[in-house]
Amino acid sequence: MKIGYIRVCTEEQNTARQEVLLRELDVDELFIDKASGKNADRPELTRMMNYVRRGDTVIVESISRFARNARDLLDLVERLTEKQVEFVSRKEAIDTTTPTGKFMLTVFAAVAELEREYILQRQREGIAIAKEQGKYTGRKPRPLLDNFERVVAR
């Protein structure tokens, strides 16, 4: 079976582009997460990893949609390999059944992790600039509960 996996970072982001690609590839089953790729603790990823069987192929649009951390990516692919499941990334044209494919996967995993670090760095820099300009004050504090004083005293 062809198994498709899609990930976007937030609920607001659209999965249509990835869905179109994977449907064009005639995937039999599709798993969609709307969560950060910073770790592998994602409900649909977990469900997919439990679902796949020997002879299946997991297809993703790009490595960064599967994992943003090199260690997580390599661990996930190793778990798939142990189950005799092939991993295919369309964008990077990776085939994990060959030594070259495994090497390229490692290289691309490092690049995906570097990209995530750059995103975080740019975010921190943007927040620092916005703070200097008085445009960013952080999250608004939560309103106190009506019975706050009583709860604290207790």
Contact partners, residue 24, CB within 8 Å, separation at least 6: none
Which stretch of 13-17, 23-27, 42-46 has the lowest confidence by average pLDDT? 13-17
Structural domains in the chain, sorted by start: 2-132 (3.40.50.1390)
- Residue 41 has φ and ψ, to the nearest 5°, of -85, 75
Per-residue pLDDT, 46:
95
Q: Looking at the predicted structure, is the pLDDT value of residue 83 above 90?
A: yes
Contact, 31 vs 48, CB < 8 A?
A: yes
